[in-house]
Chain A
Amino acid sequence: MSVVEDLEALPVFAAATHEQLDQVAKFAEEIDVPAGAELTHEGTYEGTVFVVVKGSVAIERHGHAVNLIRAGDFFGEIEAIDGGPRMATSRAIEDTRVVVVNHRDFNDLIDAVPELREQVMTAMEERLERVDREEG
């Protein structure tokens, strides 16, 4: 299946048009990540957002798991929006397929699709609140 078809199949992108997703897919990469591998690294500056097509990814802060991202969900959006270093390390906990989107393409997409922007902002707020709650 092509990258654009993988993206179109995800409910999170339901509000985006084929043309908008095609624009993202043109520069996005799909990678099959083996179980155990890290994808983001807490504290480092990295320019990518990940969408999980299949498999699952653990999100860890200070070495503790704080969240689990499953197929259809995304992670890495916080730094695309705030431009800061990674808040968390992410690790594939099974063989996992992700689509990697760079910050610019991601921001262009959420600017173009208000419904998606709202979903992303809601997820980001929920995740930041969780960090605040757990770390006081």
Chain B
Amino acid sequence: MAVVEDLEQLPIFAGVGRDQLGTLAKYAEEQQVAAGARLTHEGAYEGPVYIVLDGWFAIERDGRAIDTIGPGGFFGEIAAIDGGPRTATGRALQDARVVVISPRQFNDVLDDAPDLRAIVMAEMERRLAKIDQGD
């Protein structure tokens, strides 16, 4: 399946036009991830945002699991938006498949899609509040 078709099936992209998703898909890549692999690394400066197509990821801070992200979810958005180091490590709990988007493309799409921006910002705030609470 083409990346754009995979993206169109995800509820979070419901408010995003086909043209915008097409642009996103042009620069996005699908990646197979082996169980145990880490896609983000707490403290590291690294760009991409990940959208989960299949499989589940554990989100870890200081070596402790704090969250899980499953199909249709995303992670890595905090560093893409604030430009800071990763707030957490994302580790595949099983073989998984993700769409990888560069921070620049991600921010461009958010600028063009207010509904998606609202979803992402609300989720980011929820996650940051949880981190504040836990630390």
Secondary structure call for the B interface: mixed
Q: Which of B55, B56, B65, B67 contacts A35 (CB 8 A)?
A: B65
Q: Are A37 and B126 in contact (CB under 8 A)?
A: no
Q: Are A100 and B70 in contact (CB under 8 A)?
A: yes
Q: Residues 88-117 of chain A: 1 if any B CB is under 8 Å from the residue's CB, otherwise 0?
A: 000010000000100000000000000000
Contacts of A34 in B (CB 8 A): 58, 60, 65, 93
Extra A-B contacts (12), CB below 8 Å, given A37-B68, A100-B70:
A31-B68, A33-B65, A34-B58, A34-B65, A37-B59, A37-B66, A38-B67, A44-B123, A44-B126, A45-B11, A63-B133, A92-B65
Number of interface residues of A (CB under 8 A): 19
Q: Are B70 and A48 in contact (CB under 8 A)?
A: yes
Q: Is the CB of B94 closer than 8 A to any CB of chain A? A: yes
Q: Is the CB of A39 closer than 8 A to any CB of chain B? A: yes
Q: List 6 tightest A-B contacts by C-beta distance, closest first.
A: A37-B65, A34-B65, A36-B65, A31-B56, A38-B67, A37-B68
Q: In whole angstroms, how far apart are the Cα atoms of A11 and B100 in the complex?
A: 41
Q: Which of B30-71 contact A (CB under 8 A)?
A: 55-56, 58-60, 64-68, 70
Q: How far is the CB of A39 from chain B (nearest CB, A)?
A: 6
Q: Is the CB of B72 closer than 8 A to any CB of chain A? A: yes
Q: Is the CB of A29 closer than 8 A to any CB of chain B? A: yes
Q: In whole angstroms, how far apart are the Cα atoms of A100 and B55 in the complex?
A: 11
12 of the cross-chain contacts (CB-CB < 8 Å) are: A29-B56, A31-B93, A33-B93, A34-B58, A34-B65, A34-B93, A37-B58, A37-B68, A45-B11, A47-B11, A92-B65, A100-B70
Q: Is the CB of A125 closer than 8 A to any CB of chain B? A: no
Contacts of A33 in B (CB 8 A): 56, 58, 65, 68, 93
Q: How far is the CB of A31 from chain B (nearest CB, A)?
A: 5
